[in-house]
Amino acid sequence: MLATDALERELIDELNRQIGRRLSSGEISQLSLMVFFEQWADDPNTVAQTLLRIALKASPNAENATQVLNAYREITRQRAIRDMPALIDWVSACEHRSLPLPVIISCEKYLSTAARAADDLADRYFGIRPVIVTGGNDLGFDEARSILRLPVSDVYEALPYKIFETWVLLEALGARHGVIKIDDDLQVVPQAARDIDAVRAAFSGVDYMGLTLSSLHYDRAWHQGKCASAVAPLYAKPFVAPWARGALYFLSKAAIEKLAAHYLRFPGCLAGELYEDKAVGDLLHVLGVNAIHNPLEAILGVSTDAPDRGIATAGDASAA
């Protein structure tokens, strides 16, 4: 699903070749770190990031895991400062206004739809135009169109990876006031004026918020006809906890930190996953964060017309 998967295999194969035998995962972790600090620590690029991700994946419970996570965060931040200064400026603008980062998740096919939503939201969101996230072959930011391309496949079934890669990057850049995840078919409600202090207050003191879904009988065939590869015809994972509907939800800085750290150490948490919103809710529940039912549509004065896989509730005891 990630554009760097092949590079990861090449780097591990090269380590095995140089040592002349199959390395244990602990050895792979140690050698990856050694190569990083000897050759790449001062050059923030894809190879440097991949070496650190290999070290984390190979030995996720190592005593130095926190230090490796910090090193990954810093090398990612330095790469963004060097290669994507306009993205850094956008993060700073949101921080200056004490507002969450607004991101529209889209794909190449629907960029025009996403651009219209971003244009409409710019005025509603106090002059801040949302960044549009798509997949691609490498990390890059198109300043003119506010498009952030991540090294992940752009197909539907890769959406959970696109979402988590977004959290990893934005967490490294700060996301001091959290992130608002927005689908590309969102519409602004006319004449629904917003007060910036009221919006700030709505996101204060919560970690995970949106229109919650808690039905045990959500549509397990939702992905039918959307996927580019031969995935399972029916979603097979269990209900874990209520989650915020994917069309529009909020994550705090603390929630993003938890998601990013877990995903970097255990990327297999997304194996077999098809629905990004449920994946976020499931993992946050495991990490001790539960969804708060407070639809962002009312807070921001917008409308999301996407049909739901589940039933929206403010807390369904039978499904908890």
pLDDT exceeds cutoff 90 at 253: yes
- Using alpha carbons only, give the angle 208, 183, 165 rounded to the nearest 5 degrees: 65
**Is residue 163 helix, strand or coil?**
helix
pLDDT confidence band for 18 (50 / 70 / 90) = very high
- Per-residue pLDDT reduced to its tens digit, 72-96: 999 999 999 999 999 999 999 999 9
pLDDT at 307: 62
HSE-up (13 A, CA, CB side) for residue 34: 7
- Per-residue pLDDT reduced to its tens digit, 168-222: 999 999 999 999 999 999 999 987 778 999 999 999 999 999 999 998 888 999 9
Q: What domains does the chain contain, in order, with CATH numbers?
A: 5-83 (no CATH), 85-319 (3.90.550)
DSSP E strands, the chain: 101-105, 131-135, 140-142, 147-150, 179-183, 187-188, 208-213, 243-251, 292-293, 302-303
- Per-residue pLDDT reduced to its tens digit, 212-252: 999 888 899 999 999 989 889 999 999 999 999 999 999 99
pLDDT confidence band for 313 (50 / 70 / 90) = low
Give yes or no for a contact between 250 and 178, defined as CB atoms under 8 angstroms apart.
Answer: yes
- Using alpha carbons only, give the angle 103, 261, 205 rounded to the nearest 5 degrees: 60
- Using alpha carbons only, give the angle 224, 281, 3 rounded to the nearest 5 degrees: 60
State whether the Cα torsion 134-276-224-235 is positive or negative.
Answer: positive
